[in-house]
Amino acid sequence: MSQPILIRSSVDRHVGWLEFNRPPVNAFTREMVDETHDAIVAALGDPEVRVLVLASALPRYFSAGADLHVFKGIGQDGMRRWAERCHDIVRLLRNSPKPLLAAINGTAVGGGLEMTLHCDLRFAATDARLGQPEINIGFIPPIATTQALARLIGRPRAIRYLYEGRLVPAAEALDWGLLDELVEPAGLQAHVQAYAETLAAKSPAALAAIRRTVTLGGGMTFEDGMALELDTVVQLAVTPDFAEGVDAFLAKRPPTWRY
Which residues are tagged catalytic?
114, 134
Question: β-strands 129-131, 121-125: how paired?
Answer: unpaired
Which among 101, 36, 26, 32 is positioned nearest to 63, based on CA atoms? 26
Give every CB contact of residue 37 below 8 A, 6+ residues apart in sequence.
85, 88, 89, 92
Residues 54 and 103: their CA atoms lie apart, in Å, by: 6
Taking the alpha carbons at both ends of the chain, their separation in whole angstroms is: 39
Dihedral over alpha carbons 152, 87, 101, 226 (to 10 degrees): 60
CA angle 143, 105, 31 (to 5 degrees): 45
Strand pairing of 107-109 and 121-125? unpaired
Tally of CA atoms within 13 A in the half-sphere of 145 that contains its CB: 25
